[in-house]
Amino acid sequence: MKFFARLSPAGEIVFGVRDEGVGIAADEQAHVFERFGQTRRSKSTEKGSGLGLPIVRGLAEAHGGHVELQSRLNRGTTVTVTLPANRIVSRAAVALAS
């Protein structure tokens, strides 16, 4: 599993996780964003509750951002969160607040 984070040219913060696991079938990708939504494959092999991605999406959208999922069976999955530039707090602002 690999984590990544960067600033986009527009000043957005972009971060996420990439794995080389079993992947998610195209027809099940929308389902994993539903509460307690799990793929047919994950129900038999994983112990998750199906809440992780819905929580990530909810937090991202609450901050004006969005989540992208890219996945291919037997190739892995990438989940990318993008938050707008106005959600980034500078170090100077943090120092002033403390």
What is the structure's pLDDT at 88?
Answer: 82
pLDDT band of residue 69 (cuts 50, 70, 90) is very high
Q: What is the pLDDT of residue 98?
A: 74
pLDDT tens, position by position, 12-56: 999 999 999 888 888 888 878 777 655 555 544 555 556 788 899
pTM over the 0.85 mark: no
Nearby residues of 75 by Cβ (< 8 Å), 6 or more positions away = 20, 23
pLDDT value for 44: 47
pLDDT value of position 83: 97
H/E element holding 96? helix 91-97
